[in-house]
């Protein structure tokens, strides 16, 4: 089994995913020239390698933050939350709005167009809001979304070309981990036994 | 004009290489996945962006296994994924989850899953939520 695993790793590197980097960059650069320069390539120094790709990944994170803001809005309007929980929810939503604004700024820096939020109704359907019948249900949804968001940010960092955005994503992940930890405390659930839980 | 031709040539070259890439991606990873573990992992690792039955930040995953990349209706894919000529199976999903941008440069999914066992578990789970995956099992 062990030697098989090693073998399969070798196969993976022989497939040469790393080696494709140059062609990959060229074709994306080619695309944006062909499409009339949707992204201005020289707009940011550090991201000169592939600004359009970074802008796309940051836009995906922005979609995530739009959904997070909507989720807290749906929770706040549900009528299920105690006042204390509601106050925490409003604080966390304001953090997500701060994230959104920072991500919008970053997409613009890269010459991209920030994605817009969808309607609250669309988010409610996508999140299965009709299944939420109590404060406990809402807290469990929030715990899942915050954990997912922390992990999502951490998992995207290696794909970003410009490490300045990598740093931003790490800071965003830390905020999500802060929310997750506070919410776990609120429902009285234990913290993980193992180190390196996120990522 | 010359620039456009050059770019088109570069694109054609990349497309040829993509086909080569797909040909070598038929190998199935050697490691066994556990769909039960995969379901919990899916929530933690993919759940910020994906659900099985709803398009969210990313497309829904019902029937992804066994279908062609970029084929969920009403999901606005990037050009990169729209044009990716791959059918999702163990090998292609394993390659995708290791580094989506390497497989489809310009994709909007940048999330990488480095742990081989976690990839196998999640892929095993995706198989159970697909008609083709179920049919292969039965």
Domain ranges of chain A: 49-186
Contact at CB, A5 and B116, closer than 8 angstroms: yes
Contact at CB, B49 and A23, closer than 8 angstroms: no
| Average pLDDT estimate for B44-48 | 96
Do A176 and A149 meet the contact criterion of CB atoms below 8 Å apart? Answer: yes
At A40 the pLDDT is: 41
Digit-coded pLDDT (tens) for A87-112: 999 999 999 999 999 999 999 999 99
What CA dihedral angle connects B47, B51, B55 and B59, to 10 degrees?
Answer: 80
| A156 in reach of chain B (CB within 8 A) | yes
Do B98 and B113 meet the contact criterion of CB atoms below 8 Å apart? Answer: yes
- pLDDT category at B5 given cuts 50, 70, 90 is very low
What ipTM, to 2 d.p.? 0.79
List domains and CATH numbers for chain B. Answer: 2-137 (1.10.760.10)
- Mean per-residue pLDDT over chain B, rounded: 85
SS3 B87: strand
Q: In a mutagenesis test of the A interface, which of B12, B108, B116 is the best target, namely the one with the most A β-carbons within 10 Å?
A: B108
| Average pLDDT estimate for A30-41 | 38
- Residue with the larger pLDDT of the pair B29 and A161: A161
Burial class (CB in 10 A: 0-12, 13-18, 19+), A75: buried
Per DSSP, B86 falls in state -
Residue range A49-186 forms a domain whose CATH class is: mainly alpha
- pLDDT category at A48 given cuts 50, 70, 90 is low
- The 10 Å Cβ neighbour count of residue A155 is 23
- pLDDT category at A19 given cuts 50, 70, 90 is very low
Q: In a mutagenesis test of the B interface, which of A35, A56, A122, A146 is the best target, namely the one with the most B β-carbons within 10 Å?
A: A56
Q: Which residues of A touch B108 (CB under 8 A)?
A: 56-57, 59-60
Digit-coded pLDDT (tens) for B56-80: 999 999 999 999 999 999 999 999 9
Digit-coded pLDDT (tens) for A106-149: 999 999 999 999 999 999 999 999 999 999 999 999 999 999 99
Digit-coded pLDDT (tens) for A157-199: 999 999 999 999 999 999 999 999 999 999 999 999 999 999 8
| Average pLDDT estimate for A43-58 | 74
At A50 the pLDDT is: 83
Tell me phi and psi for residue B87, to 5 degrees.
Answer: -100, 135
Residue B133: pLDDT over 70? yes
Scanning B31-70 for CB atoms below 8 A from A yields: 31, 43-49, 51, 54-58
At B16 the pLDDT is: 43
Beta bridge partners of B87: B68
pTM: 0.80
Q: Which residues of A touch B23 (CB under 8 A)?
A: none
At B30 the pLDDT is: 78
At A81 the pLDDT is: 97
At B27 the pLDDT is: 62
At A64 the pLDDT is: 97
Residue B55: pLDDT over 80? yes
- Residue with the larger pLDDT of the pair A23 and A127: A127
d(CA B121, CA B92): 15
At B135 the pLDDT is: 86
């Amino acid at each position: 089994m062990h030697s098989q695993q090693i073998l399969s790793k070798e196969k993976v590197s022989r497939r040469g995913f790393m080696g494709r980097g140059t062609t990959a960059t060229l074709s994306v650069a080619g695309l944006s020239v062909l499409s009339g320069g949707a992204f201005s390539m020289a707009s940011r120094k550090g991201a000169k390698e592939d600004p359009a790709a970074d802008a796309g990944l940051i836009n995906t994170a922005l979609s995530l933050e739009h959904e997070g803001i909507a989720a807290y809005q749906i929770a706040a309007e549900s009528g299920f939350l105690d006042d204390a929980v509601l106050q925490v929810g409003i604080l966390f939503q304001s953090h997500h709005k701060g994230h959104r604004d920072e991500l919008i700024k970053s997409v613009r820096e890269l010459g991209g167009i920030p994605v817009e939020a969808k309607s609250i109704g669309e988010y409610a359907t996508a999140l299965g809001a009709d299944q939420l019948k109590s404060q406990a249900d809402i807290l469990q949804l929030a715990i899942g979304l915050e954990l997912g968001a922390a992990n999502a940010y951490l998992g995207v960092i290696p794909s970003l070309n410009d490490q300045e955005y990598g740093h931003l994503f790490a800071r965003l992940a830390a905020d999500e981990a802060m929310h997750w930890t506070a919410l776990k405390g609120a429902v009285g659930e234990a913290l993980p036994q193992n180190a390196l839980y996120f990522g | 004009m010359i620039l456009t031709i050059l770019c088109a040539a570069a694109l054609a070259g990349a497309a040829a290489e993509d086909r080569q890439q797909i040909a070598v991606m038929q190998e199935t990873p050697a490691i066994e996945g556990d769909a039960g573990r995969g379901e919990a992992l899916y929530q933690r690792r993919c759940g910020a962006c994906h659900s099985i039955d709803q398009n969210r930040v990313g497309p829904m995953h019902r029937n992804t296994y066994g279908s062609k990349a970029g084929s969920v209706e009403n999901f606005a894919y990037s050009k990169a994924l729209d044009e990716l000529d791959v059918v999702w199976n163990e090998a292609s999903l394993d390659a995708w989850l290791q580094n989506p941008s390497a497989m489809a440069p310009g994709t909007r999914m940048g999330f990488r899953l480095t742990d081989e066992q976690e990839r196998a578990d999640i892929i095993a789970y995706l198989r159970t939520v697909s008609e083709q995956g179920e049919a292969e099992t039965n």
